[in-house]
Structure 1
């Protein structure tokens, strides 16, 4: 604060103080002025005149006391508002400092520091609604940047790979920072207006997300081979051309999910809810579909079904099979 601003503030405060003091002194006297001789004319008893003057004085004092109490109450309210404002500003400053420190941490070369920064961002998201979307975007970018699966580029990976790499360590061992980021993303507070989580073209092989809440997430062209997704909420996700071979999806909810051209060979979908899903062009050969709900799922002539799932059985299950589609 500049010296000029300080002087202006001091003069303003002094002026307000003088006005308030003057009002406390003058207003009660204007409301209840002292009784004059003319006012007391006709009052024969001297004792009665004294009592009337005392009563008028009490009215003046009572009015002055009421004004003082009002001023004190107003000062308390102003003080409380100023304190709340200071606390709010201090809290925002602390959150900004914590956010900056966490961003620095997830860029560290030390994996333990990165994991600490990821969990620090989760704490910030829980405490600050305004920072939830930026943190979601930041962690999504972190996952995409760490394990990119650049399908379709000149030097990109084969997709799907010739076989599932059984020797590849699970995510918690291979990239524990990415696993931590995914756990934080699936636990994030959700609202109907949340932006979609973008995790397309990401190498998520061996990820463990049992019971995760990832509805409306984009996994287009990603590799989720051997992913543990049992009981996960994956409604209305987009798994277009995603590699889900050997993935565990038992009891998962995939209502309205786009699985077109997805690779599900050897995946397990026992008791999974796949109602209304798009299975056009999906490879379901060797997929376990015991007790899976498939009512309204869409298929076409390019859909590859497990052995024994005949056209008649598919009709009984409520699958909409348009074999005339290309």
Structure 2
């Protein structure tokens, strides 16, 4: 179909004048120039076209229609995909929030169970029956294994239990039992094999202040220095502490005569004025300990580490370690009346 613009009266025809749809409608363009908007061809014009041309036009119309349907289909597909992604995102967020709430609920429930077990075990420590007290000691050990946050508090509770249930000060040394009671020994065993402290303990805390379980827990949460294990003044002759981890412990004035301390770690412990007479110290680590005024009469000490241990004029050394004269040869002055054992070559 040919379409041409009319240039004047001479170039116009009757068909063109009578067929404004075929000639098109003129409209001004953006630049002021006129352009022709083509109208749909009539059936007469289509019949006048060659067969090949008509087939070509039909194919073009069919392709245009298919393209329109394809575009609409793609648009709907994009919209459905976007909606699916939004729904998936909302579902994932909801699932994460539910999972977080479930975990918090589980943690709260577990903490409540630990608190109940802890309270019951502490109550059983005051039972009049020794077997109940012994069972409570091992129950606290299990709680300390399950709950790191309660480990220091349980350690302090068991140390207090030993201090309060050992023989009274009024009992003479000659009248002391040869070994601790079973419940006290159980507490010592649990303390000896307890896991490593969650924080490095202070080596010289000064006067020890017994803490409640809540104070111990709060101090641990606030990242404060953890006080050392306090067993000062305990009287547990014959105690079995083989391989015990008592590093940095406060054993000032402790009665450990005849105790079995083979392979025990007492590095940095305070053993001032302690009674270690007749104790077994095979392979024991006493490096850096304070042995001022300690009584080591008759101890069996082989492969014992004493490097940097401190002692005083009141310290009693056994003959097996060369006595006072032999220890003076291995030590250097460290203040008035005090000495420090040198590192062996």
TM-based fold match above 0.5: yes
Distance in structure 2 (CA, Å) of the matches to 1:291 and 1:96 = 44
Q: 2:201 aligned with 1:182, yes or no?
A: no
Matched residue, 1:143? 162
Instruction: Give TM-score, length-normalised by structure 2.
Output: 0.61
Aligned counterparts, 1:37-186, within 5 A:
45-147=64-166, 149=168, 156-157=169-170, 161-163=172-174, 165=176, 168=177, 170-171=179-180, 174=181, 176-186=182-192
Aligned to 1:276: 288
- Residue 130 to residue 266, structure 1, CA distance change in 2 (3 Å): closer
Q: CA RMSD in A?
A: 3.6
Aligned CA distance change for structure 1 residues 300 and 88 (closer, same or farther; 3 Å):
closer
Query: Following the alignment from structure 2 to structure 1, what is the Cα–Cα distance between the partners of residues 150 and 99?
Result: 27
Give yes or no for contact 2:277–2:298 (8 Å, CA) kept in 1. Answer: yes
SS of the equivalent of 1:163 reads helix
Number of residue pairs matched by the alignment = 257
Please tell me whether the aligned partners of residues 255 and 276 of structure 1 are also in contact (alpha carbons under 8 angstroms): yes
Between the aligned partners of 2:242 and 2:88, the Cα distance in structure 1 is: 65
- 2:241 matches 1:224: no
Structure 1 residues 113 and 75: CA distance shift in structure 2, 3 A: same
**Is the Cα–Cα contact under 8 Å of residues 246 and 268 in structure 1 kept in the other structure?**
yes
Would you say the 8 A contact 1:265–1:286 is kept in 2? yes
The separation in 1 between residues aligned to 2:231 and 2:117, in whole angstroms, is 30
Structure 1: stretches of 5+ with no match in the other structure = 1-41, 150-155, 201-214
Are the aligned partners of 1:249 and 1:270 in contact in 2 as well (CA < 8 Å)? yes
TM-score by length of 1: 0.64
Residues 164 and 250 (structure 1), Cα distance of their counterparts in 2 relative to 1, 3 Å cut: farther
Shift of 1:68: 2.0
Whether the 8 Å CA contact 1:216–1:234 is kept in 2: the answer is no
